Amino acid sequence: MRWLALLRPGDWLTLAAGAALVGASVPMFWQGGLADRAIVRQEGRVFAELDLRARKQLEVPGPLGITLIAVEPGRARVVSDPGPRQYCVRQGWLMRPGEIAICAPNRVSLQIAGRTKVYDSISY
Amino acid sequence: MTRSATELAITAEDRRVAWLATAAVGLSLVDAAIPSPLPGVKPGLANIVTLVVLLRYGWATAVWVSVLRVLAGSLLLGYFLAPGFFLSLTGTTLSLLTLGLARHLPARWFGPVSLSILAAFAHIGGQLLLARAWLIPHDGVFLLTPVFAGAALVFGTINGLIAAKLLADTPATDSPR
């Protein structure tokens, strides 16, 4: 109680404004919420939508061969790919909504999705 | 004893700044000893001294004490001129500027807690911007914003309360301002 006496009326206002700022910063900076799905595309068409809650492996056939995708709780990655440069494999685990690994030679992409859609970029 | 050619006149104000800065450096060391879950989330106990100095001796003294604290603290902890030093300096500069403006708020309504919260937000804001511009040039830095902002609110409030208590408990001995 003695401590509360040290707060002046405006201090409560500042506290409330600060709390509002913190509250507003969550959706602003953690856009898209938590990752909950992995979308696998082949030739631009959705090949599979995987739930990120369960551990799973998926083989995606492409023109060069099989791209192997692994899902673990909260994250997904491309384990192996027949492409020559292995960019999508080297990207490692993807865990934030909007992250994407593209295995262009084999025409496979793996994207993480959250509840809301996140834009790659916006131009006016 | 031979008189030195250059004699520095030490005023009472100099001594006061030195003592206060020493107290702030001591609190910085305590701060550094507290384990933190995330780099950048620190209680910032030295800011209690800054607040008390600001409200009792004015803004200029607060600037002196803060800058000396950042310099001496970084030398003692071994991060002088390391990235952490510049983060610290940027945060301190921005919070001092904020305090310079915020101290003109009506004192009847806004006490040390308000000043402390505003300074804490300015501090972390400055650090995030410097980190984004220089250390980690990627927007991913801002993913930590809600955590940092939450910490700023909590620690800003606690430090402000401690500063308010100190100011209430110790009547001004010297002439204020």
- Note whether A34 contacts B: Cβ–Cβ < 8 A: no
CA-CA distance, B131 to A72, in Å (whole number)? 31
User: Which residues are CB-neighbours of A68 under 8 A, at least 6 positions away?
Assistant: A57, A58, A59, A60, A78, A79, A80, A81
Write out the two tokens for B107. 């004192």
Ranges of beta strands (E only) in chain A are 37-42, 45-51, 56-61, 66-72, 75-80, 100-103, 108-113
User: Which of B110, B148, B166 is most worth mutating to test chain A (most A CB atoms within 10 A of its CB)?
Assistant: B110
In percent, how much of chain B has pLDDT > 90?
A: 63
- Note whether A24 contacts B: Cβ–Cβ < 8 A: no
- pLDDT in the model for residue B1: 59
- pLDDT in the model for residue B97: 95
User: B88: domain range?
Assistant: 12-169
CB contact under 8 Å between A15 and B153, yes or no, is yes
State the total domains in chain B.
Answer: 1
Burial class of residue B48, CB neighbours in 10 A (0-12, 13-18, 19+): buried
- Of residues B9 and B89, the one with the higher pLDDT is B89
- pLDDT in the model for residue A26: 81
- pLDDT in the model for residue A115: 67
pLDDT band at B122 (very low <50, low <70, confident <90, very high): very high
- Domain assignment present for B165: yes
Q: Model confidence over A30-47: pLDDT tens digits?
A: 765 567 889 999 998 999
- pLDDT in the model for residue B177: 42
CB contact under 8 Å between A30 and B143, yes or no, is yes
User: Which residues are CB-neighbours of A33 under 8 A, at least 6 positions away?
Assistant: A97, A114, A115, A116
- Of residues B119 and B177, the one with the higher pLDDT is B119
- Domain assignment present for B176: no
Task: Name which of A3, A9, A29 is nearest B145 (Cβ-Cβ).
Answer: A29
pLDDT, average across residues B164-176:
75
- Which CATH class, in words, describes the domain spanning A37-113? mainly beta
Q: Each residue's pLDDT tens digit in chain A (124 positions)?
A: 578 888 888 899 999 999 999 988 887 777 655 678 899 999 989 999 988 888 999 999 999 999 999 999 888 999 999 999 999 999 999 988 888 999 999 999 999 887 666 666 666 6
Q: What sign does the dihedral B89-B90-B92-B97 (CA atoms) show?
A: positive
- Domain assignment present for B6: no
Show me where the domains of chain A are located: 1-30, 37-113
- Domain assignment present for B63: yes
- Domain assignment present for B2: no
Q: Model confidence over B96-106: pLDDT tens digits?
A: 999 999 999 98
CATH of the domain at B155: 1.10.1760.20
Could you tell me whether strands A66-72 and A56-61 are parallel, antiparallel, or unpaired per DSSP bridges?
antiparallel
Q: What is the mean pLDDT of chain B?
A: 89
- Domain assignment present for B28: yes
Amino acid (1-letter code) at residue B1 = M
CA-CA distance, A118 to A89, in Å (whole number)? 23
In total, the C-beta contacts within 8 angstroms joining chain A to chain B are 69
User: Which of B145, B166, B170 is most worth mutating to test chain A (most A CB atoms within 10 A of its CB)?
Assistant: B145
- pLDDT in the model for residue B136: 81
In percent, how much of chain A has pLDDT > 90?
A: 50
